Amino acid sequence: MKKKDFENAIAEFLLDQKCSEKSVNTLKKYEHGVRRFVDMLPEDFEITKSHTLAYKEMLLGSGYRPATISLYIVVMNKYLKWIGAPELRVKQLKVQRKSSLSDVLTPEEYNRLLRKAKSRDQFDTYLIMKVLANTGIRVGELKYFTVENLKSNYLQIDNKGKIRTVPIRQDLARELRKYCRNSNIRTGTIFPGKVKGKQMAASTIWRRLQRLASELKIKKSKIHPHSFRHLFAKQFLKENSNGLAELADLLGHESLETTRIYLVSTDEEKKKKLEGLKY
């Protein structure tokens, strides 16, 4: 096969992945990864293993993070198998498991953020942080927090076709219902944005949190899409040392290996343990 054969098959490959019910974000990653690979192929040459190996070498020398390189290779290999050229696939990059978690919010920082949001009358931001830190859900899953769903203390959350049950603490549920009454929110999302009936945009949420963090002199790098999810996971395992499998269910992880990262301590936690060593 030549470069034009790989180019001409991209649209059909993406359609096939869409029919397999891959998420919009996954499809975007596939398209970007496949087009990047195909663009570097030479014109009018029969494509061989030497070309895919050259692409891998190019990625390794690009300065990208190992996780990014690994993703590009996964996408390329998937496309090669689909198009009928599995012999052109290359070995996956071996990424050593992190020995430390970095940029994780501490409970103290979380409580400071709550107090600051409340003092500025940003009750929606205050409750969004509480929801994220007490359920471990992703920001995109806030859409399941509706007036109707709050009638139960258990939410059914669908993420990429995988449905999981997320319990809501009674004190949090009461606080959310009170907020809805006081804000005259009678139906739909609890956290509406500027467009009526639509949930607040994730970018708006993170801008607000970044501003709060800046005012409190909290590292902005700690305010990222998974920061409160990380905090929830660390606190859950602190209270339930044998609860890794339960945590995986709550977070919606298919593999315990994904969840196991939360067993790893932060660099700051390691330092505190070393400071306490006595001889």
The two beta strands, 154-159 and 162-167, are antiparallel
| CATH code of the domain occupying 3-88 | 1.10.150.130
For residues 253 and 267, give the distance between their C-alpha atoms in angstroms, rounded to a whole number.
25
269 pLDDT band, cuts 50/70/90, is low
Domain 107-274 has CATH 1.10.10.10: no
pLDDT at 103 over 80: no
* Whole-number pLDDT of residue 12: 95
For residue 102, the model assigns a pLDDT of 62
Query: What's the confidence (pLDDT) of residue 98?
Result: 54
Q: Which residue did the predictor score with more confidence, 2 or 160?
A: 2
Mean pLDDT, residues 34-45: 93
- Over range 50-57, report the average pLDDT: 94
Q: What is the pLDDT of residues 1-31, one digit of tens each?
A: 999 999 999 999 999 999 988 888 889 999 9
Instruction: Enumerate the CATH 1.10.150.130 domain ranges in the chain, comma separated.
Output: 3-88
Q: Residues of the chain with pLDDT > 90: what percent?
A: 60
Report the alpha-carbon distance of residue 117 to residue 126 in Å, rounded.
5
SS3 string of 181-243? HHCCCCCCECCECCCCCCECCHHHHHHHHHHHHHHCCCCHHHCCCCHHHHHHHHHHHHHCCCC
Q: Is the pLDDT of residue 268 over 70?
A: no
- Is the per-residue pLDDT at 100 higher than 70? no
Task: Please tell me the predicted confidence (pLDDT) of residue 17.
Answer: 92
H-helix segments, the chain: 3-8, 10-19, 24-39, 49-60, 66-83, 107-119, 123-135, 170-182, 202-215, 227-239, 244-251, 256-259, 267-275
The pLDDT assigned to 99 comes to 47
Mean pLDDT of the chain: 88
Judged by average pLDDT, the poorest of 122-126, 148-152, 223-227 is: 223-227
What was the pLDDT predicted at 276? 73
For residue 227, pLDDT over 80 is answered with: yes
Which one is predicted more confidently, 241 or 176? Answer: 176
pLDDT digits (tens, 9 = 90+) for 165-217: 999 999 999 999 999 999 999 999 999 988 877 889 989 999 999 999 999 99
pLDDT band for position 252 (50/70/90)? confident
Would you state the pLDDT for residue 270? 65
Whole-model pTM?
0.68
